[in-house]
Amino acid sequence: MKKSIFVLFLFSFSLSVSGFAQLSVGLKAGLGTNFMTKQSFNRTGLPYAPSFSRGEFIGFHVGGFVKVPIFKKLSLQPEILLTQRGTGSGQYEIVRAFYIEMPVLLKFQLTNRLSIEAGPVFSRLKSATIGGSDSFDFFESSPMLLQFGVGYQIAKNITLSGSYSYGLDYSLQMTFYDVDNSILAQDKYYTRGLQISARYSFSRHKS
């Protein structure tokens, strides 16, 4: 709930300053390679095995963004995206999940064409499967991530960007029970991912 209020506040802030700064509105789409790191915990909540990564998964993202200039080279860029994430290859079952993601990025213009960006990503789980079976209840409904990226404007209205996402909250949790129905162990999976995106801005300003 607090995450949703925070996102709404940032979007309201963006709109409130629109009278003082010209907005850039556009579309964004791309592909990403995702994987999950696993951390195992025993019944006392302490880690009992080293973390490791599960196989990579190729997903997509598509949506839109609003860029609000704050200072000469600094801007706020809220986005809303439909994003596919997951993991699994080879011996592992395919884990596939769809999220509505809301990155709220601070963007700094290094040169006329080159920029860097960073910020939190708020997300809401829409559907999830493991091995093709509905597994919604095993997933965290609103995991939060951090995103870091770089962008390069290749044409007047087109920018290519690359970014790295680091999950702060677990995305998937598997719980194992003892014969007396007490928790024996828990495996928590955290999302990591690289994305390549193209942004198209409908304004004349840098996207």
Domains in the chain, CATH or no CATH each: 22-201 (2.40.160.20)
Question: Whole-angstrom Cα distance, residue 203 to residue 142?
Answer: 32
If you average pLDDT over residues 63-77, what whole number do you get? 93
pLDDT digits (tens, 9 = 90+) for 81-137: 999 998 875 455 688 999 999 999 999 999 999 999 999 999 999 999 988 889 899
Give pLDDT, residue 71: 87
- Comparing 180 with 138, which gets the higher pLDDT? 138
Give pLDDT, residue 87: 83
Secondary structure (3-state) at 17? helix
173: left (phi over 0), alpha (psi -120 to 50) or beta: beta
pLDDT digits (tens, 9 = 90+) for 141-200: 999 999 999 999 999 899 999 999 999 998 988 877 777 777 777 888 899 999 999 999
Give pLDDT, residue 109: 96
Q: How would you write 114-153 as a 3-class SS string?
A: EEEEEEEEEEEEEEEEECCEECHHHECCCCEEEEEEEEEE
Give pLDDT, residue 43: 60
- The structure's pTM equals 0.81
Question: Whole-angstrom Cα distance, residue 1 to residue 52?
Answer: 31
Give pLDDT, residue 40: 77
pLDDT digits (tens, 9 = 90+) for 12-58: 555 544 444 578 899 999 999 988 888 877 666 555 554 555 667 88
Give pLDDT, residue 166: 96
Give pLDDT, residue 89: 53
Provide the CA 65 distance to its chain's centre, in angstroms. 14
Counting every residue, how long is the chain? 207
Give pLDDT, residue 88: 73
